[in-house]
A = this chain, B = another copy of it.
Amino acid sequence: MEERNEIILKTVNRLLAENKLSKVTTILGKLYSADAAEVVTHLDERDQKKIFEVWAPDQSANTLLEMEEDDQVDIAESLSISAISEILNEMPSDDGADLIADLSKETAEKIFKVMKPEAAAEIRNLLKHDEKTAGGLMNPEVVTLKKSITTEEAIDELRKKAPEIENIYYVFVVNDENQLVGVVSLRDLIIASPKTLIKDIMNPNVIYVEAGVDQEEAAKIISKYDLLALPVVDQEQRLLGVITVDDVLDVVEDEATEDMYKLSGTIDIEESDVMRSPFPRVLQARLPWLAIAVVGEVVVVGTIAEHFKYLLATLPALAVYWACMTSVGGNCSFQASTVAVRDLAIGHINSKAIFLRIIKEMRLALVMGIITGGILFVIAFFWQKYLPLAIVVAVANVLIIILGAFTGTVAPLLFNSMGIDPAVSSNPFLALIMDAISLFIYFYIAALVLGKYSVF
């Protein structure tokens, strides 16, 4: 939290202790909603409730929608049905739908009965769409025009609707069936002379998405074309709503978080944070990969170790380099796979260049392998003073790094082509594979070299 908000928080807490609630709401009312939300988030639950009970519904709505999802739910559940219904009446319906979706069905139904019928109907409609799709992200409140009116009439229309509409910077042109036929920016409206017809300045080549499209896809389109808003249509091209760029900023952040969590082997991004999800859900999100890793390591890598464990009796110093071998393999594959996963996510990867990418990654790995292998050779030679061991660790290191780079590059591309999210592949699945490969190479080369040079 910024210093300014820290100071305001202290003042608010002092005023609340003195029971000066109206002064508190005056102070909070002067802040940007995002700042008011930050301050309110840091108050006791009891104080939060007090504030939302006396606040005007529109102020409550603006502040509430800037808060974290689970804080919103806590406050909504603490308020009376009539209080939360009034707040929801004032909230943009996409935010309202997100909030209602997190409440129990029972509570939701009670709220719908008390809300304004139109507002309730809008939210009910939005709830039909999957939360992670363009339909789940859109706001149904848009300004639509017919193409036969003039820019002057259009601006008049905008002026009337502006107070209740979130985004007026793009205006959508529809036909009598409400099908999307064009788009005009407020910029174009301002530049054009007042008597110009909309159909003469509109862009008929509108970029849009269907409601069922994944939100990540919608975000990519907005980012690619630098749009402020993206219209959402149904299968008959009828305009349903609009996704604004600020919603997309959140999506980009969430999707990046999701990929990072997947890289770290947690299954469900929404439930991975101990601070925000109940214990059993966090456990469900984090345990599965861990359990798979444990069993996998024992069964796969343990079997390899079991097979070669006699070598450790022959040359106990092999144990000294074991951790280094598995670590270097894991690191290399993880570096290569992270770059590939991120490139796939951002959409940079060109399918024709896959072969070139593998070659380049492996050339890099060869050089890194020789450098680190050289370091290892010197360490082993001077520490254990036994040439065959130095040869084993150096050669194994080069091979492990090359195979790590290969696996790390190919696995995400392979998963992606099979329609599996490549981020899932990286860790700990890739780590398990690399542990097995690394250990097998290490011990296999040790067996070869020691078989030849063995002093026993």
Q: Could you tell me if A298 and B312 are in contact, using CB atoms closer than 8 angstroms?
A: no
Cβ of A181 within 8 Å of any chain B Cβ, yes or no, is no
Q: Are A334 and B249 in contact (CB under 8 A)?
A: no
8 Å CB contacts to B: which residues of A346-392? 346, 348, 350, 353, 356-357, 360-361, 363-364, 367-368, 371-372, 375-376, 379
Write out the residue numbers on chain B whose beta carbons fall within 8 Å of the beta carbon of A334: 264-265, 427
Q: Does A428 contact B (CB under 8 A)?
A: yes
CA distance A214 to B68 in the complex (A): 25
A15 beta carbon closer than 8 Å to chain B: no
Q: Looking at the complex, which of A46-54, A102-110, A289-297, A414-422 is the stretch in contact with chain B?
A: A289-297
Q: Are A246 and B223 closer than 8 Å at their CB atoms?
A: yes
A 265-296 binary contact with B (CB < 8 Å = 1; else 0): 11000001111000100110011011101110
Question: Which B residues are CB-close (under 8 A) to A261?
Answer: 338-339, 342
Decide if A43 is an interface residue (CB 8 Å cutoff). no
Is there an interface contact between B323 and A319, defined as CB atoms closer than 8 Å? no
Contact with B along A169-197 (1 / 0, CB 8 A): 10000000000000000110011000000
Contact of A283 among B264, B283, B337, B364 (CB under 8 A): B364
Chain A: interface residue total (CB-CB under 8 A)? 113
Asked if residues B312 and A316 are in contact (CB atoms below 8 Å), the reply is: yes
Q: Is chain A's interface secondary structure helix, strand, loop, or mixed overall?
A: helix
Total copies of this chain within the assembly: 2
Kindly name the residue among A245, A274, A303, A343 whose own CB sees the greatest number of chain B CB atoms within 10 A: A274
B320 lies within 8 A of A274 (CB): no
| Chain A positions 30 through 50: 1 when the CB is less than 8 Å from some CB of chain B, otherwise 0 | 001010000000100000000
Cβ contact within 8 Å between B286 and A368: yes
Contact present for B207 and A187 (CB under 8 Å): no
A326 adjacent to chain B (CB < 8 Å): yes
B322 touches A322 (CB 8 A): yes
Does the CB pair A297–B327 fall under 8 Å?
yes
Given contacts A169-B186, A265-B331, A265-B334, 9 further A-B contacts (CB under 8 A): A252-B252, A264-B334, A272-B339, A286-B335, A291-B372, A306-B319, A309-B320, A310-B316, A327-B435
